[in-house]
Amino acid sequence: MKKILYFLLTVFCIVGVSVVNNERVHAAAPSATIKITTLETGVFDETLEQKMITLSKASPVIVLSEADGWAEIQYKTVIGYIPSEYLKSAPPQYMLVQAKEEPLVHVTNNEESDIKGKLHLNTIVELYGSATADFVFVKYGRIAGFVNKQAIVKPVSKAMIVKNSNDLVVREIASSSSTEIGVLRKNSPVKMLTNLKGWAFVTTDKLSGYVLTNGLVTSPVVKEKPANPKPAKDKKIALTFDDGPHPKVTKQILKILEKFEAKATFFVVGQEVKEHPEILKAVYNAGHEIGNHTFNHVKLTALSAKEIKQQIQATDTLIKSTIGQRATVFRPPYGSYDKTITDQLNVPNVLWTIDTLDWKHRDPKKTVQAVKEHAKNGSIILMHDIHQTTADALDEVLATLQKQGYEFVTVSELLGK
């Protein structure tokens, strides 16, 4: 115990401490070290005897120091001690900051809590642990705390290589004065997750961080035939869902699609995206394709050219601001279109080959039957992710098609786009 107390005294002398609401908050460290709890555990005070709070399994904490089998950690506004054996290092998930304005990083998962700083737009942050209802725990350099989860999205990677002319310094954040964490040798292959103001975030199997963009070039695409290629599946079918996202039904459909490892295309309505952006993010992050289905689900052939443009562009803008990219396909409400409409499209206009009429009969058995009777290679199946009866039918629909040997692909994959 004397050894521990001596260690604590030393730490207190080295690290600045202030008092906020009767709780200790350490001065900002050069860089936060994040670990994850491996089981439910208590956080103890300096005596190592009085429990202050209990953390659940997989809680992310800031590790301030470790000695004699104990780790001094900060969780929200609480600083205390956890046995080191109950913590583990965990690889972060890299996420892209994308919002209307720079999101604030809070000490706790509460908008009213103290602010640690801001995150610059289009930077990559490290995501740790599981999300709460509205917040996630992230780290960017010396800043670590809670941010609104709607402010981050899954980035799209691009293959790059380091230029031949020189090695490339990797830094912790997008600044030439930030900590150097490694060097990438010339011709090293990397994946670039963002590109902003002369800096790119890159990742490899061993190293991840920010580099100067001018030190990278696009990786040439090399197509190699596998030594023992597997025969390609020749039965493909595209599942499509219109009129969402829905706060309840869409979530159920995503779980069923995941169960069957199926990909689908969701034709979303702008006004629903505006109401439920987090659901659209969940659809996109699960690897599904996003299509534009207008803003108000109106019959476009009854509108003027200007009104048609507004319906399409408003939805595209909203989709891009939510997930970081525009819709890749378009479907007109009621399947009603003409040349005035298609002339305004920059993506394929997609209808369907099988209408389950799930919106009309609201009967899971009839939805399943429609698929069984009409499914064939290359079919595009129309359903709606706003009806509970559609979610109720989906498991049997997928099981039936899977037994028949179908591969579930997006519309763009089916059309070879």
297 part of the active site: no
Residue 231, pLDDT above cutoff 50: no
Which band of pLDDT confidence, cut at 50, 70 and 90, is reported for residue 365?
A: very high
Q: How far is CA 263 from the centre of its chain?
A: 16
83-115 core/surface letters (b: 16 or more CB in 10 A; e: else): ebebbeeeebebbbbbbeeebbbbbebeeeeee
Highest mean pLDDT among 6-20, 43-57, 124-138: 43-57
Whole-number Å distance between alpha carbons of 47 and 45: 6
From 242, 243, 316, 385, active-site residue: 242
Supply the pLDDT for residue 90.
83
Domains annotated for the chain, with CATH where assigned, are 2-8+15-88 (2.30.30.40), 93-153 (2.30.30.40), 159-218 (2.30.30.40), 236-415 (3.20.20.370)
Please say if 120 is a catalytic residue: no
Token digits for 398?
């997928």
User: Going by C-beta distance under 8 Å and a sequence separation of 6 or more, which residues neighbour residue 280?
Assistant: 245, 268, 273, 290, 319, 322, 323
* Listed range (46-50, 204-208, 346-350) with the worst mean pLDDT: 204-208
Closest by CA to 65, choosing from 46, 41, 39, is 46
Alpha helices in 241-276 (DSSP H): 249-259, 270-275
For 221, other C-beta atoms within 10 Å of its C-beta total 6
Count, residues in the chain: 417
Q: Which of 246, 276, 384, 387 is catalytic?
A: 384
- Whole-prediction pTM: 0.48
pLDDT of residue 28: 35
For the cut 70, the answer to whether the pLDDT of residue 354 exceeds it is yes
List, for residues 298-351, the tens digit of each pLDDT value. 999 999 999 999 999 999 999 999 999 999 999 999 999 999 999 999 999 999
